[in-house]
Structure formats: structure tokens, C-alpha cells
Structure 1
């Protein structure tokens, strides 16, 4: 582990395993090149996150990219999350273009330049798959959060990630049907993504709870700056645990509580969230409701 400016840089055990396999099969140069590409990819994310003032706790390097552990996860604007997500693949685009130009100019060996450019393109394209925690999965989640309630966004991004993770595993063993050999690297990575998203499935209630905890602070900022409210209309019999599931990440809401076809009262979202969080501490609500 390496620490820089309070940020821990770690190699995920999966990355260490694939690096060892590369060394054992006589592919040391390829392993070192992969490490450099992944590191620069993740530094793209890091630079953009630091530009927005995010608090980064840890950078974990994986064979296909990496994961930033940040304090603000799920609580920052979708625009910032999208720009941080796309910054990694853009690094690979720049590296591939630089390698191609250097090979064309004769500054480096042409075959090495082609291989380096291909490796960058592969990592960039793989990262754009709609699977969490890949960049494509984060971009899909950002896009969905602008159109549907955030709780539904979390559920559907998890389901899409599980589906494509399973498809990745299936693709890795597909050659067996034609008498070929499976793609072991893809099988390992796909299995990791399946396990990661299965764990994420169980953690959705806690991810949503963190969103609600930070929501009040962002709501106060929106009110202070002036904002248009999007109404949520519910029956007086609808519990707060169901109403908070209707909150949009990028909207401020006023909740209109209806009784016999008339507005009984108007509840600001901050008051709604506070009431729901108090019910959790009092033991009157169950997080399993958010599964």
C-alpha cells in the first residue's frame, strides 16, 4: 500500500493474482504495461474527483481499472459523477492516440505501439460496459438518476449490472461449446463482477440510507440558492418509508398529502426525511423494505 496526500493506493487481490499469472507464463512486460495503463486510467478519475473537491479515502486498482473510495459516494450531483466516471476511459483514449502517433513517427517500435494502443482501447471499452463498479455502470446510474426516483435507480442499475456480469461469464466459457478453451482472464473478472454486484444487491438499503442522510444538507443548499420544487402527491395513508422512495436525486420536492381529494398539508422533503430517520432510530421502520 502507498499513501499520497492522505490517499491510500492499493492493489486488489484479483489484480495481484492476474499479475502473478502473467509473470508465471512469461508475460512480465505485458503485466508491467497493464499496471501502468490501469494506474494512469485511475489517475484520470482521481484528478477529476479532486478538481470537484471530493474527499478520496482510497484508490483500489483492479485489472480493468480501479475504484475510488470517496466520502461523497452517491451524494454528489450526477453531472460530477458522470465527468469523474468518463475521465478514466478518456485517459486510455489519449494514451492510445499518443502510442499510435509515436509509432507512426518512428519514435517507438511499431508493433509495441500497436499493442499498447490495443490494450488501452480494450480497457476503455471494457470499462464502458453497463456494469457496476465499471465506468459504464456508473454512467448508466447517473443517466437513470435524472429520470426516475433514486431508489429505483439503485435497484435497476444493480439488476442491469448482474445481468451483464452473468453475460460476461457466459461469454468467457462460450468457446467450450465449440471445443475451444475458455477465456480464463475474462472468466475471473466476470466472476468477480458477479460477486461484487450480488454483494451490492444486499447493500442497496444502506446505500439509499446514506443518500437520505446526506440529502438534508443538499436540500438546505438548494433552498438557500433558490430552486423550483417538484411536487410529490400522496395519500395520507402512505407511510414515510414509501414516500422517500419517490425522491429524485437531482430534484427538490414538496410532498402534498391528500385527504378525501383535498390537500391536507404540504411537507418539505427535509421534514419527511427527518421523520423517516427518526422512525428508524425508534425501531418503527425496517430497512428490508428498500430491497
Structure 2
């Protein structure tokens, strides 16, 4: 029995997309649906290609009727440069596609109505994916931008809050302008469910981010950040003040107006090695292990 190569086994088509393709065949709109799928496929392969370039581990690529999702354990554990490039590699595909389609309009090799359909949907897909709604590309960009100015743990929650707010605003605008369709409701429902799942997973994502820092300590050449902490604060509370892409030094203030500096790797080792997330910073400063 022939089996698919390991890489191809990571690609999956959602049953709903198979249904849409089937309906396209029996309703005579298969070509239009095939165009949509090709655009979605190229978009997602942009993400996949850039992720493979940086040697990310891709666990799954799922294609839906209204987009694709690349699952990987590397998000939020790599550098800003890598994560921005992987996210932008999807939307940027629509730029050269738009140029190609407009050139094809000039040479008249394909029916004009199909090219016009492809141009319109290509632009819609580009702008839709740039909306600040997680897990769309715009939502991922929003998360990365927020993490420049806010602790990573807070960013995870704020991104979901803003995503849900944007979905509600979008539904309100669609309702007022009579644009609300079954497809719109289906898409909004999908995005609500995804944000609900991300809310439930945010603690796991945060721990995964910390574990990546633990296994690959942040270089002191990164932007250093001095984090103030009281002597009674726990390691867990201090870790929640950590920023993505920064190296932290914790300034522990004692009641006697004296202070001590604790490096971030000491907090991470207390959390993962000693299994002591609730140890107070005054105790960690006294231990002073390296």
C-alpha cells in the first residue's frame, strides 16, 4: 500500500471544503471555487515556505473554505524577525498574484470574467487576512506589535479581547449595511471559536514561551530590561512581567532599603528545575545559584 511522504501527510483538507467543492461541481461554479482554493493554497504555502526556511517544525496545515491554518510549535518562541517574516510571507503572495492577474488581463489568454473574479477575491483575501483578528495574519501581527510594549502574558489576553471586539464591530457594520450573509455568520462563528480556544490555551502558550527561554537563554546583547520586584513576590509573579525578546534582570527590593539583582535564568531554573514557582524573590536572591 502506497503511503504519502511525511511532508505531504501534514496537509489536510477540512471536510467542509470537500463539501463546498462538491457543491461547486453540481452547481456549475467549480472553476470559481477552484480559483479561491488556489489563492488560499498559495497564501498558505508562503507561510510554509518561510517557516521551512527558518527550520520551523510544522505539525499540520489545514485548508478551510475561507482560508488555511498552519500549526507549529514555534510561534512565540522565535525571534521577532523570524515570526514577522513567517506571518508576512502569506499576505505578500497576493501582491505578485495581483500583478500577474492584471498582466493576464492585458494579453487576454483567459476569460476576462474569471480574471476579474480572481482579482477581486485576491484583494479581499489580502485585506481580510490583515484584519487585527486572531488567528488571522493581522491578529498575529497585532500580537507581535503589542509584545514590544507589554509583558507577553498580558499580550496574549489583550490580543483575544481586541480580536473579539473587532469581530463584533465587523458583524455590527455588516448588519447595519445589510451585508450579513450565511457565509459571514459562518466565518464569524469560526473566529469566535478559535479565539475561545486560544483563551483556554493562553496559559499553555505562555509556559511554552518560558520553556523556550529556559532551553535557549536570551542573550545579554538583547535589549536589557530591569524588572522591579518586591521581596515577597513569587517567581511565578515575576515571570508574568517578562517581555518577548528582552533579557531581564530583576531588581529585588528589600524592606531595609537594600536591593539585590536576580538574573532571569535564575527565575527560569527555579520554575522548571526546582519546581518552585511560588518561592519568594527574597529566598531566590539568598540562594544566588548560577
Q: TM bucket by the smaller chain?
A: 0.7 to 0.9
Alignment partners' CA distance in 2, 1:100 and 1:106? 10
Deviation of the 1:125 alpha carbon: 0.6
Alignment partners' CA distance in 1, 2:132 and 2:210? 25
Query: Would you say the 8 A contact 1:55–1:71 is kept in 2?
Result: yes
Following superposition of structure 1 onto structure 2, how do residues 1-291 of structure 1 map, counting pairs within 5 Å?
3=5, 5=7, 8-174=10-176, 182-219=180-217, 222-223=219-220, 226-260=221-255, 262-277=257-272, 281=275
Partner of 2:285: none
How many residue pairs match? The answer is 277
Higher helix share: 1
User: Is the partner of 2:233 in helix, strand or coil?
Assistant: coil
Query: Would you say the 8 A contact 2:236–2:277 is kept in 1?
Result: no
TM-score normalised to the size of structure 2? 0.86
The structure-2 alpha-carbon separation of the partners of 1:69 and 1:143, relative to structure 1 and needing over 3 Å to count, comes to: same
Structure 2: gaps spanning 5 or more residues:
280-290
Deviation of the 1:278 alpha carbon: 5.4
The structure-2 alpha-carbon separation of the partners of 1:17 and 1:6, relative to structure 1 and needing over 3 Å to count, comes to: closer
Structure 1: gaps spanning 5 or more residues:
286-291
The structure-2 alpha-carbon separation of the partners of 1:143 and 1:69, relative to structure 1 and needing over 3 Å to count, comes to: same
Deviation of the 1:144 alpha carbon: 0.9
User: Is the partner of 1:255 in helix, strand or coil?
Assistant: strand
Query: Would you say the 8 A contact 1:7–1:56 is kept in 2?
Result: no
